[in-house]
Amino acid sequence: MRMRIGLIACTLGALLIAGCVEQIPVTYYPPFYNPSSFDAIGIRSFTGATAVSQQVGNVLAGQFAIDMVANGTYSRVYNLGQDRQVEALDGIIIVTVEHFSADRLIETRLRSSRPVSASGRSGGRRVDDEQLMVNDVRLTVSARIETPRGQILYATPEPITAHIRSEEATAGALMSLDECYYRAIRQVSAELVRQFAVTEMVVSVDPSKALFTATKRDEHGDWIRTDTFAMSDPMMRVVLTLPAEADGNIFHLVLVDPRNPDKILDQEPVLWGRNRSETGRAFVFVPMDLMVKAGTGKLQVQLRSGDAPLVTHDFQIVERLPEVPEDTESVEASPVD
């Protein structure tokens, strides 16, 4: 499901700690995926070190196959079992159940009540025991996709884990152990689909880092940021940095005059690549060209997906930059006798 852009409201405390965050909807393409070369995949029965984990792996493999068919990335999805062979597969997904546990527990917790005193004087506190019934299921898997000849194309960078825990007072309703188990299966399967299929997701970005204007890089390779350009400057740069999950997505950098936002002054299509997620990508615009179309004053660059602006940044073009006074040499006063 494609989620529309939303802005997380920033409280003052969150703003001081991490700054405001904006949510950007993207289509996530797995690193190995190529639509022209990936059409048919097989899912091998998931393996486990014990008989119980092997059984869990078989159930998870079946759920994962169903979820992959529903996802629709691949036109053909085969549940291969342990040894089924299918011709013309583009990849085979192999999953190992690293850990599985399902426990029924009764936990005792201490709960303090109001102060009491047998003599009527203040002091002392009664402590009551509270009995809690807990169903606890943990499931951890690792996964990879290989070519039919065994070449590994991609492996999950970290184990995929689900921890489902249900607890209520013994007199209350309790989620059954079976329900906890199946929730863990569905949760892990959903994450496997996200890792190995094309999915719609939302990524969080810090707007101050994702989109800004600059002149050039300094001697350390950092961008020299500025929001003010002279119309005589030969160029200005708009720097864009997006997370790797945006790989393969097409955006547009659009420059507008906020006083007339429907009029596009300039724009640049952007096909994002995960290899630029660390360094960012700079796009060059000419201040004089923008000034001719909009005049001097405040302008705005927008990152768009379709017609919706996802992130914006304000800057301005002026006739000339203020002059910076030159440093004057200090005159050392002669000591007075």
Decide if pLDDT at 55 tops 80.
yes
- With contact defined as beta carbons under 8 Å apart, do 252 and 269 qualify? yes
Name the segment(s) of the chain with CATH classification 2.60.40.1930. 207-318
pLDDT band, very low/low/confident/very high, at 180 (cuts 50, 70, 90): very high
Q: How far is CA 184 from CA 20, 105, 138, 195, 288, in A?
A: 33, 18, 7, 17, 59
Per-residue model confidence as pLDDT tens digits over 91-112? 999 999 999 999 887 666 555 5
pLDDT, greater one: 50 or 122: 50
What angle do helix axes 177-196 and 51-71 make, rounded to 10 degrees? 50
Computed over every residue of the chain, the mean pLDDT equals 83
- The CATH H-level superfamily of 207-318 is Macroglobulin (MG2) domain (2.60.40.1930)
Tokens 């002091």 sit on residue: 123
CA 65 to chain centre: 25
Q: Which residues contact 221 (CB under 8 A, 6 or more apart)?
A: none
Coil, strand or helix: which one is 210? helix
Helices (H) and strands (E) in the chain, counts: 5, 19
Count of residues making up the chain: 337
Q: Decide if pLDDT at 337 tops 90.
A: no
Q: CA of 218: how far to CAs of 94, 215, 222, 302, 322, in Å? A: 47, 10, 6, 25, 21
- Cα 335 from Cα 108, distance rounded (Å): 82
What pLDDT sits at residue 283? 96
Number of Cβ within 10 Å of residue 242's Cβ equals 27
Q: What is the mean pLDDT of residues 276-292?
A: 93
CATH topology of domain 30-197: Rossmann fold (3.40.50)
Are residues 31 and 245 in contact, defined by beta-carbon separation less than 8 angstroms?
Answer: no
Average pLDDT over residues 234-259: 95
pLDDT in tens, 146-165: 999 899 999 999 999 999 98
C-alpha 197/C-alpha 211 separation (Å) is 29
What is the reported pLDDT for 327? 53
Residues of each domain in the chain carrying CATH 3.40.50: 30-197
Amino acid (1-letter code) at residue 321? L
**pTM, two decimal places:** 0.74
